[in-house]
Structures are given as C-alpha cells and as structure tokens.
Structure 1
Amino acid sequence: MNTTAIDLFAGFGGFTAGAKAAGVHVLWAANHWPSAVEWHTVNHPDAIHVCQDLHQANWGLAPAHDMLLASPCCQGHSPARGRANGNPQHDTSRATAWAVVSAAEYHRPPVLIVENVPEFTRWALYPAWLQAMGALGYQCAPHIVDCADLGVPQNRVRLFLVCTKSKNPLLLQLPQYPHVPASSFIRWDSGKWSPIRKAGRSAATKARIGRGWRALGKGRFLIPYYGSGSGLTGRSVERPIGTITTIDRWALVKGNKMRMLNADEVLAAQSFPEGFKRPTDHRLTVHMAGNAVPPLAAQRVIETVLRAA
C-alpha cells in the first residue's frame, strides 16, 4: 500500500524529506513563506505546493491523504524566543495549531503527526486543542524525543504528537540509536578561519573559548556563540552538537583559530541528505534549516507509526 501524506507548515522540507525516506508519498505541501515554498518545490517537485496563511486555507483543495504531517510555528511556545517579552507575534504563532484541527475536521485522515517544542503541551489552550481533536475521534499520544536518540548528530529535544483514529492512544516504542558525533559532519579543512585573539573579538567569546581550553585542551571543540547550556565550557566534537537554531549559533575552535559552522554543516547537523538543494545565501539557509524538522528523526518516527498503526 502506498501511504500518502500532506505537509502543513512544510518550511524547508524536513518533514517531507523524512516521510519520503520512510516510503510515504507527500502529495501536497503548504507554507506562508515564499522562500520556503520555493526551496521546498526545488527539492520536492512532485508535490503540489501552496503558499498561503493556513488559517485561511480551503481544505477542499488539498488532496485526500492517509497521514497529515504538521509543524506549526513553535516560536510562541519556545523559551528560546523569550515569551516574557510580550511580543504579540507569539500569540498569533501559537494559534497556527488550530489549522491542524481545521484540516483534520475536513479530511479525517487516519493518522496525524504534529512536531513542535515540548512547551507546546504547556500552552494554556493545549487542553482545548486536545478536546477538539478528541471530538473528531482522535486519540493523541505525546512523545518527547531527543533527536540524537534517533541518530541525528544533534541534541534537539522535540515533541512528536501522534494522533490516531484508534480506541487508545498509540504509544510508540521508538528505536534507540547510538549517538552520532558532531565530528561526523565537520569539515576542518574548509571555511574561513580567523585568529581568536584578533582585534574586535568580544570579551565574552574569548572567555567562552578560554573555558573550553581549560576543560578540553587547545585542540578542537565547539562553543555556542550565544545562549546557554553545556557549551558554555566548550563542547566536545565527539558528542552530538547542541540545538541548531535559525541564526548562526555554533562556532568551531581549532587551536588558536575559530570559525562559524558553514551552511552545509548546518544542513548535515539537521540530517538533511547529501545533495539536498539550498540557497546560496548563508543566512537564509541557516534560517530555514534551523526551523526544520530533522529528516532522519521524522523518518524514524513515521516508520515506527506505520509499523504500529
């Protein structure tokens, strides 16, 4: 049987790439951002593409399908973007999850998989969202997953919410894969390296590298250029990298020189397959990749759902 799917908030195409690797035919993909739709089309030309605000979608124009994939905007839930700042965009972005309910009401596919940050389950309207899905006949099973456990070379903790037309929630027994180190995708002989002690280098960056030197020696390691976490004392490249975000975060240190990850390394850290096409613009690539579902994580979740459903 050829399983079919549609991809809501498809972005750069991580969910679609993972679904295709799992043997699922993605028929239709939608996103509101023209650049994301453009590059999704380049990499997945056999899908129908729609560029629009999914709050206003006419779901009758989307094809019937067996599986609905959705990665609604996570910025309103993620602590990384500072909800406490009172940005009204956060309230708007949280509301994108209701488009999933709207699509499910129209099409009633047997399976939905929603990816988001774990904080989605602490949204004030999450109980109401679950109630709406329940009214449509869905049982919803949340799975909090570190993508590194699925073989992605990155510690990235995400929610995969599996919604099925079943008597009981479908609780997955996800496979556990060995962690893949960051060294697997770093190209030490490429990129633009600069002296750590060059004029203009911030004191905070030099302090972070200094802590890395003391903890890991003057060899090769990673540091976060901003943010917090274990990388504040340097991060071994024999571990998965920390979470990839929508702006340059991770720097490589090699002796007395450093550089940021390049765009191809960012794609590899997100487990995009070799040959996946991207813009020449570094910032645009990093932004789209950082928003994406890691394809390998999506593939392994979908494969497990197909075996269990």
Structure 2
Amino acid sequence: MKAIDLFSGAGGFTEGARQAGVEVCWAANHWPAAVACHSANHPEAVHACQDLEQADWRAVPAHDVLMASPACQGHSPARGKERPHHDALRSTAWAVVACAEYHRSPVVIVENVPAFTAWALYPAWCDAMFRLGYAVAPHLIDSADHGVPQHRERLFLICSLSKHPLELDLPRRAYVPARDIIEWDLHPWAEIDEPGRSAHTLRRIEAGRRAYGARFLAPYYGSGSGLTGRSIDRPIGTLTTRDRWAVIDGPRMRMLQVSEARKAMGFRADYKLPARKKEAMHLLGNAVCPPVAADLLAAIRAAA
C-alpha cells in the first residue's frame, strides 16, 4: 500500500504510516522548515516545497491513500478574532478535492480540528467529495485513546470510493499519564518566586498546589486547566503551536521542553526536529499524532 502526505508538516501522518507498514512515496508542504524536517526523518519519500493550491497533480505519483492535514487556523476556536487571512487558510482544504479528482485515490484521510465541520463551506466540500464518488465518514478521535500521553481531540474524515462509509474498528488503548514524559532531571529550572513573576501566574500555581500537591502542570498562556492546573497522573492537555505548558516542581518551574513535547505527541525519541525551540514546538503543535495515524491505517486496511 502506498500513500501521499499533503500539508505534511512534521510528518506525523507519514510516521504513523511507516508504523502501519504503509509506504509514503510523496510529501509536500509550503514551509521549508517543515519540508526539511520531513526529509530528515523520511528521506525515502519524494518531497515538494510548494503551495498545494497551485500543485500540478499530474506530477504526483499513483497511490492508494491520500493523507492530508489542511490548515486548521481558520477553523480553530483558538484562532481569536476572525481575520482576512483565515479565508485563505480555510481554502487549503480544496487542494484535497483537486488531488482526489485527478487521482481518484481509493482512500482519502483528512485531519483537522473538530470545528472544521462548522465551516460554512463544509457541506459543499463534502458534496464535492460525494460527486467524485466518495463516501465520507467523520471520526472524532482523542489521541489519548490511542496510547498518546495527550488529550488531543481531532476530526478525521475517512473518505472511501465505496457505496457506504467505511466502518472502522479502532482500538482503545490505556491512558498514558503526563508524568511518563516529564524529564525531571534533564533541564534547567527557575524559581517560582523570582522577582517579576506575574500575580496571575502565581495564583494559577497556588491553585494547582492546592489541587495536586508539589508536582503538576499549568498552562502558562491561554485557557484550559488555567485556574486549577493539571494532574501529571493524566495525559497532558492539547499541545498547540505556542509553547504554553509549564511544569511545576515544588518551588521551581520551567516550560515543557522539545524532547518532552515530542513524546507527548507520540513521536519516537530519535525523531529529528529543528534546533530552534520555537520552530520545533510549532511543528509539533500542528502535527498528527503518529499512533493515531497508525491505528487508523491498520483499521482501514482491515475494513477494505
């Protein structure tokens, strides 16, 4: 079985395909840093750095599975105020339709945030796929159910050239707690009570201490567990493209590090990422969790 990976990013879809025994023969992304990361980890694939809305699909090799993660920023509730560029981001989903129209890929898997279904053009997108002969089966999947130490709910649209939608028998794996990914003794710490620490941060930490004791997680920016912190005995909350999770250990704290975030996303320990933390965390925060992709592809193969 061969696959292609559109909007390939860090390569979570491709890494999951590798685990499932699926060969990814072609991958593309518009961001050079993402293409470099994907190439470093999957040199066997042919890579393209381009705007996929301008792609010549004749140059893409034949395949069995089209995997795609079009931009989510125009759909995500975390996007904040609606901005002009969100329309352009949402339109990237039409590249999937264009590729499917040319190749008639037997299976198309599209990953995005759950709010993708609230897009004004989502019914039109599904209708376009239907007119190409695809049955569309939405699956709302939490990565924690697949052994990833992170609660990360994402929409996966399983589109198949079949009369009826594919019925997938997905495994449900045991939860992995955040404490399993935290490297307590490997990274520098800062004192919580150092001068200049914001009163809001201190209130969050104090609330976390009351709820969980000396060791816990807290979002340094944004909402979600913001008032109470988060127990390290459960999966971490969703990682985003912004470095936002703080680790609290008694009187000291630090931000989650790249090696920990890599494990929180379900990537193998030797998976290569950019040297700059900002780029690495951005790629991880946008990625598909490889164990989820692997379980999906295995279930699709079983159902086919």
Counterpart of 2:45? 47
Percent pairwise identity:
59
Which sections of structure 1, spanning at least 5 residues, go unmatched?
A: none
Counterpart of 1:198? 194
Question: Runs of at least 4 residues of structure 1 off by over 6 A?
Answer: none
Counterpart of 1:296? 291
Counterpart of 1:152? 148
Counterpart of 1:136? 132
2:135/2:160 contact within 8 Å kept: yes
* Cα deviation 1:78-116 (Å, max 9, x = unaligned): 01111xx23111111000000000000000011011000
1:247/1:286 contact within 8 Å kept: yes
TM-score, structure 2 normalization: 0.98
CA distance in 2, matches of 1:295, 1:231: 28
Give 1:231 deviation, angstroms: 4.6
Give 1:147 deviation, angstroms: 0.7
Give 1:303 deviation, angstroms: 1.0
Give 1:150 deviation, angstroms: 1.0
CA distance in 1, matches of 2:210, 2:139: 38
Counterpart of 2:173? 177
TM-score, structure 1 normalization: 0.97
* Cα deviation 1:177-205 (Å, max 9, x = unaligned): 11100111111012111111100111111
Pair 1:189 & 2:189 matched: no
Pair 1:86 & 2:78 matched: no
Which sections of structure 2, spanning at least 5 residues, go unmatched?
A: none
CA distance in 2, matches of 1:195, 1:23: 46
SS of 1:276's equivalent in the other structure is coil
Computed over aligned residues only, the root mean square deviation of the Cα atoms, in angstroms, reads 0.8
Give 1:234 deviation, angstroms: 1.4
Give 1:230 deviation, angstroms: 2.9
Matches within 5 A, 1:20-31: 20-31=18-29
Counterpart of 2:212? 216
Of the candidates 207, 227, 236, which is equivalent to residue 231 of structure 2?
236
Give 1:56 deviation, angstroms: 0.4
SS of 1:145's equivalent in the other structure is strand
One-letter identity of the residue aligned with 2:164: N
Matches within 5 A, 1:107-118: 107-118=103-114
1:222/1:231 contact within 8 Å kept: no
